[in-house]
Structure 1
Amino acid sequence: MKTDMQMQQDVLAELKWEPSVNAAQIGVEVKDGVVTLAGHVGSYAEKWDAERAAQRVSGLKALAIEIDVTLPGSSKRNDSDIAHSAENVLQWMTYLPEDAVKVVAEKGWITLSGEVDWEYQKQAATGAVCHLMGVTGVSNQIVIKPKVSLSAVKSEIEAALKRRAHIDAQKISVEIQGANVTLTGTVHSFAERDLARHSAWGTPGVRNVVDHIKIA
């Protein structure tokens, strides 16, 4: 198991390795395996990329983001322009049904709402708007609407987990209640926990995933 100092060094190295992030503007603190990122960045996209860079480091138990987005003068836009840009980019996405996602912009912060069929569609919507100029944050309130029976969901999730060679599916328990999936058990890294969650979200009909997986 990594010490807090080793974890801090690894996260700092990963931030420096990520070309879209100015690592000099971001501080890293670690306590009991919980990583906190703090500082100031010039765009929400950079904040987004810094978060994902930290999540790539093995042994990460939890991540707290205290990064502020401070837009330079040339990047500031009014909410009307931001909302129109977000609507346009979402309309051009092949992942999303037409008019499935609604946009509200307030002080640079975008709120997405609506209904889609899959988790990847929900995440793609965030990915599409987070890089727009003038955006200071994104709140994804899109709901996943089940389309199929959930009778086979548990077996499909367990089969997906077993296909992941570096995940011991026997150590992960899957429980179904309505359209909600609860995962419990133990894995060896943040990345493995993320793969387990991805397997659950990739199953048709899943509307919510409750993650109680622990990292050994």
Structure 2
Amino acid sequence: MKTDSQLQQDVSAELTWEPSVHAARIGVEVKDRVVTLAGQVDSYAEKWSAESAALRVAGVKAMSTELKVHLTSLSKRTDTDIAAAVDNVLEWSSLLPAGGLKVMVEGGWVTLSGDVDWQFQKQAAADSIRFLMGVVGVSNQISIMPSLSATLVKSDIEAALKRAALADAKKISVVVRGADVTLSGTVHSWAERETATSSAWATPGVISVVDKMTLAT
């Protein structure tokens, strides 16, 4: 198992390797395999890229972010302009239901609400506005409306885990109550953890996924 010092070096190296991040302005601290990122970035997209880069590093247990988005004068937009841009992007997305989402912008922070049928649609909505100029953060409050009986969810998720070829798919426990899924067990990396939760979210009818999985030491 990596020491905190080794993890700190690896996360710093991953940030330096990521071309969309100004690594020199981001501080990295690690305690008990929990990574804290601090510093200043020029956009919400850069903040997201830094967080994603840190989570890619093997051995990272969890992450806390204290990164602040400080827009340059050329990047600033009024909330009205940002809201109009978000509306246009969502309207032009073929993945999202027409007119099914609501947008609120305050101080550059975008809040999305409304209903969709699938988790990938909820994620696509947030992904589509991440790189818009002037956005400093996104709160994704979109709800997923179940479309299938929850009795089929457990077997569908277990089959998806096998298709994903996880090393120890049988060691991941799937508990379904209504349309809520709880995953527990042990995985060997953050990538395996992400694969397991993504498989659960990709199952029709799932409206929430609780991740109780632990990383193998």
TM-score bracket, normalised by the shorter chain, equals: over 0.9
1:177 Cα offset (Å): 0.5
Write out aligned runs for 1:193-208 (5 A).
193-208=193-208
Aligned residue for 1:105? 105
What number of residue pairs does the alignment pair up?
216
Aligned residue for 2:40? 40
8 Å contact kept, 1:101–1:113: yes
Find the aligned partners of 1:184 and 1:23 in 2 and give their Cα distance: 34
8 Å contact kept, 1:179–1:207: yes
Given the alignment of the two structures, is residue 90 of structure 1 paired with residue 87 of structure 2, yes or no? no
1:165 Cα offset (Å): 2.2
Aligned residue for 2:69? 69
Aligned residue for 2:187? 187
Aligned residue for 2:78? 78
Q: Deviations over 1:57-106 (max 9, x none)?
A: 11110011110000001111110000000000011111101012110000
1:120 Cα offset (Å): 1.0
8 Å contact kept, 1:172–1:184: yes
SS in 2 for 1:99: coil
Given the alignment of the two structures, is residue 143 of structure 1 paired with residue 160 of structure 2, yes or no? no
Residue type matched to 1:190 in 2? W
Aligned residue for 2:159? 159
Find the aligned partners of 2:14 and 2:122 in 1 and give their Cα distance: 27
8 Å contact kept, 1:108–1:135: yes
Find the aligned partners of 1:123 and 1:95 in 2 and give their Cα distance: 10
Moved over 6 A (4+): none
Residue type matched to 1:183 in 2? L
Find the aligned partners of 2:41 and 2:123 in 1 and give their Cα distance: 22
Aligned residue for 1:170? 170
Given the alignment of the two structures, is residue 134 of structure 1 paired with residue 134 of structure 2, yes or no? yes
Find the aligned partners of 1:124 and 1:15 in 2 and give their Cα distance: 25
Find the aligned partners of 2:3 and 2:158 in 1 and give their Cα distance: 33
Aligned residue for 1:114? 114
Aligned residue for 2:209? 209
8 Å contact kept, 1:77–1:134: yes
1:163 Cα offset (Å): 1.8
1:201 Cα offset (Å): 0.4
8 Å contact kept, 1:59–1:189: yes
1:164 Cα offset (Å): 2.3
Residue type matched to 2:186 in 1? T
SS in 2 for 1:131: coil
Residue type matched to 1:146 in 2? P
1:213 Cα offset (Å): 0.4
SS in 1 for 2:151: coil
Find the aligned partners of 1:111 and 1:71 in 2 and give their Cα distance: 19
The two structures have a TM-score, normalised by structure 1, of: 0.98
SS in 2 for 1:88: helix
Identity, % of aligned pairs?
Answer: 63
1:190 Cα offset (Å): 1.2
Find the aligned partners of 1:56 and 1:101 in 2 and give their Cα distance: 31
More off after superposition, 157-166 vs 85-94: 157-166
Any gaps of 5 or more consecutive residues in structure 1?
none
Find the aligned partners of 1:101 and 1:58 in 2 and give their Cα distance: 36
